[in-house]
Amino acid sequence: MREMELMAGAHAFGDGNHPSTRGVLEALMLIDPDAFTPINACDIGAGSGIISFAIARKFGCPVLATDMAKSAIETLKQNITQNNGTAITPIHADGFAHPEIAARAPFDLMVMNILPEPLLKLANAANTHLAEGGVLIISGILLSKESIIIQAYQMLDLELTTRIVIGDWVTLLWQKE
């Protein structure tokens, strides 16, 4: 498999070096594609698209990649063109507020690598857009904010299956019953 060259751009978070991004990539590696094969994925807060590319390459499924920053979407589009990311569809959206997200839901695999406050705000919408048996990976969580995030997501029909800590950052993998 050839190497990718991804531009992070001025406002496209995601060069792969941040502990929250590394946590998501590690969580994706832990998923056995023989036991769980998503056919529909969504990356909320996609930034440069590094996580979207990892999902598309590992599972061979289409990925809806969203970001609220227009500059991030422009960078993502350039990365898709440069790296033959035909399975990735970039969408400018704040959270789940875009008709294409609703049209493609429910998602078998969803990733949200964003800050704790938006993770809390989007918890119910994430649960609504996640398919039965689906996997949700959330990251961007400092250890000091972990307990409040866990409380919010445990209130939903989700089971915490994996916890990854890299430095002061936590990545949580949930499965919908």
For residue range 23-39, what is the model confidence (pLDDT) as tens digits? 999 999 999 999 999 99
Mean pLDDT of 76-96: 93
Residue 2 above 60 pLDDT? no
* Contact (Cβ atoms closer than 8 angstroms) between residue 172 and residue 150: yes
Mean pLDDT of 151-174: 96
Rounded to an integer, what distance in angstroms lies between the CA atom of residue 151 and that of residue 26?
23
Q: If we measure between CA atoms, which residue out of 41, 157, 156, 153 comes closest to residue 171?
A: 153
Task: Report percent pLDDT > 70 for the chain.
Answer: 91
| pTM confidence score | 0.92
